[in-house]
Amino acid sequence: MQQDILINWSPQETRVAVVEHGAVQELQVERTLERGLVGNVYLGKVARVLPGMQSAFIDIGLDRAAFLHVADLMSSINSRHAETDLQAAGTSSATSASPATPALLPIEKQLFEGQTVMVQVLKDPIGTKGARLTAQISIAGRLLVFLPQDNHIGVSQKIPPRQREDLRQRVQALTGDMGGGFILRTNGEDATDAELGEDIAYLRKTWSRIKDASLRLPPASVLHQDLNLLQRVLRDVVVEGTQTIRIDSREQFDNLKAFAVEFMPATVQKLQLYSGERPIFDLFNIDEDIAKALGRRVDLKSGGYLIIDQTEALTTVDVNTGGFVGARNFDDTIFKTNLEASQAIARQLRLRNLGGIVIVDFIDMIKENHRDAVLAEFQKQLARDRVKTTVNGFSALGLLEMTRKRTRESLAHQLCEPCSACMGKGVVKTARSVSYDILREILREARQFNPREFRVVASPKVIELFLDEESQHLAGLSDFIGKPISLQAEAAMAQEQYDIVLL
């Protein structure tokens, strides 16, 4: 699949769009003040150990303590004499150790409050949840991933099985006996020994710097930061089908070119400095696509549409036929809408960076072959995703269940915040409901206080209702409490906001 990469850079924000056949397929945004933490290595300090959850909270210098589960502690700690130690401790929850699955030492026997431990961020803080950590450090290079605390040599599962053993032996021969493990990335399949050797040297040097920093710096310090978004584009996004990488900043173009020359020479020829008069994102109406990706409704070319709702627990996608009546019968209309929706949903998952559990409510299909065809098309479209996805098929209720790995916040969470009027509910009370709330509040206040007058300050729509349809009720309440009630419209107030002033 041929693609172009457009990079819009400014001092406060970097935006990257991956375009295929004139349509945006993926968006990434990194703000200078809100840069993600995934891949960063910290010298953490244990703040609290929770034996019941077999986890610990680690202070790494963020607003909220980060979370570390026992399974993410160093494998060398977990496996060494694990079975013997558990038996000696008389722990009833001990599991039988085996070479494939060693028993885990309880976390309270590995960590204690105040202890320093080197950790790496697996997931950024999202919502009310702190960052997710691992003590099993991995450092990604262009061709390889270095596992300094392991001795395993692995090969990406995306590389055909028949080639993996030969590649594993090549990497084993190049790494020698200097310690540490490596995983060959997909783009390292055709690399020369010289290129692999350069990557190995770079990764070992990076690890040496991290270790030195861990001895010099105090707890809650950053020992290593992952590459910035521009550099990660060259490392992770560029593929064989990438035709151009256009960037609109001369300074960043020079920096990126220097980085490419040193670490990714194959990408140098694809780099281009964009100096056109129109903003670079206007070339493919990308800002318009960003605006659409923040909305609930996605229109399909056929006349159908999607409704996408994102919650903290999961994302739901509802497919509707809308005004589509193009097929000869209703079953074919549903089938064609679902086929088009499967392509649009896969694109929206990438575009919005939606992760976690995703539930898709396709329009009910009676024919089994239609269901199978829609599922096959959906899986085909998801195969283009760089992020791992798992499709569990249709449930008994006809809902398609899937998961998409979540490591960073979604586009909406990055660019938006809860509405100040509805506070994230998505709805506000009607003006009539607010007016009745005000009447009840005045009655409540009249029983406690004895002012000369009550003044209602509210939104223009609520005040207008009191002057018209609800004027009789307002007058009746004034007679009942024996006090005058005056009205004041305040344009700056949201519909649910009001004040009752005692004069």
Q: Which of 208, 224, 240 corresponds to the end of one domain?
A: 224
Partner residues linked to 121 by β-bridges: 133
- In the chain, the percentage of residues whose pLDDT exceeds 70 is 92
Q: What is the pLDDT of residue 67?
A: 94
pLDDT tens string 258-278: 988 877 788 899 999 999 888
Rounded to whole angstroms, the Cα distance separating 254 from 260 reads 10
Same domain, 282 and 317: no
Per-residue pLDDT, averaged over 402-427, amounts to 81
Confidence of residue 407 (pLDDT cuts 50, 70, 90): low
- Same domain? For 151 and 274 the reply is no
Q: Are residues 305 and 444 in the same domain?
A: no
* pTM of the shown model: 0.67
Q: Among the listed ranges 65-69, 171-175, 330-334, 473-477, which one has the minimum average pLDDT value?
A: 330-334
Task: Report the pLDDT value the prediction gives residue 156, as an integer from 0 to 100.
Answer: 85
Does residue 425 belong to any structural domain of this protein? no
Query: Is pLDDT at 190 greater than 60 in this prediction?
Result: yes
Least confident range of 11-15, 74-78, 211-215: 74-78
The SS3 of residue 52 is helix
Instruction: Supply the range of the domain harboring residue 236.
Output: 3-35+228-287
- Under the banding of pLDDT at 50, 70 and 90, the label for residue 86 is very low
Asked whether residue 163 falls in the same domain as residue 275, the answer is: no
Burial class (CB in 10 A: 0-12, 13-18, 19+), 198: middle
Q: What is the pLDDT of residue 104?
A: 75
Task: List the one residue out of 400, 414, 405 whose CA is nearest residue 386.
Answer: 405
Structural tokens at position 443: 């009655």
Pair 74, 175 in one domain: yes
- Classify residue 77: in a domain, yes or no: yes
Q: What's the rounded Cα separation, in Å, for the pair 386 and 237?
A: 8
Q: Let me know: does 443 contact 481? Beta carbons within 8 Å.
A: yes
Does residue 253 carry a pLDDT above 90?
A: yes
* CA gap 344, 11 in Å, rounded: 33
Structure tokens at 213: 């920093």
CATH number for 201: 2.40.50.140
Say yes or no: 47 and 114 in one domain.
Answer: yes
Adjacency order of strands within the sheet including 498-502: 485-489, 454-458, 498-502
Average pLDDT over residues 381-397: 87
If phi > 0 it is left, if psi is from -120 to 50 it is alpha, else beta; for residue 240 that is: alpha
Question: 31 and 171, same structural domain?
Answer: no
Q: Which residues contact 476 (CB under 8 A, 6 or more apart)?
A: none
Domain count, the chain: 4
**Domain of 234: which CATH number?**
3.30.420.60
**What's the confidence (pLDDT) of residue 95?**
32
414: Cα separation from own chain's centroid: 9
Q: Does residue 401 sit in the same domain as residue 319? A: yes
The SS3 call for residue 298 is strand
- pLDDT, one tens digit per residue, over 4-41 is 999 999 988 999 999 988 889 999 998 887 777 889 99
Q: Is 241 part of a structural domain of the chain?
A: yes
Q: Are residues 82 and 61 part of one domain? A: yes
What is the predicted pLDDT for the residue at 488? Answer: 93
Strand ranges, E, within 90-232: 116-123, 132-134, 139-140, 144-147, 153-155, 181-184, 221-224
Could you tell me if 363 and 340 are in contact, meaning their C-beta atoms sit under 8 angstroms apart? no
Read off the tokens for 330. Answer: 């209703």
The alpha carbon dihedral of 42, 46, 47, 48 has a sign of: positive
If pLDDT is split at 50, 70 and 90, which confidence band does 218 have?
Answer: very high
Rounded to an integer, what distance in angstroms lies between the CA atom of residue 28 and that of residue 7? 10
Domain end point (choices 367, 386, 415): 415
249/361 same-domain check: no
Least confident of 279-288, 435-444, 452-461: 279-288
Is 281 contained in some domain?
Answer: yes
pLDDT of residue 116: 95
Q: Which of 180, 197, 224 is the last residue of a domain?
A: 224
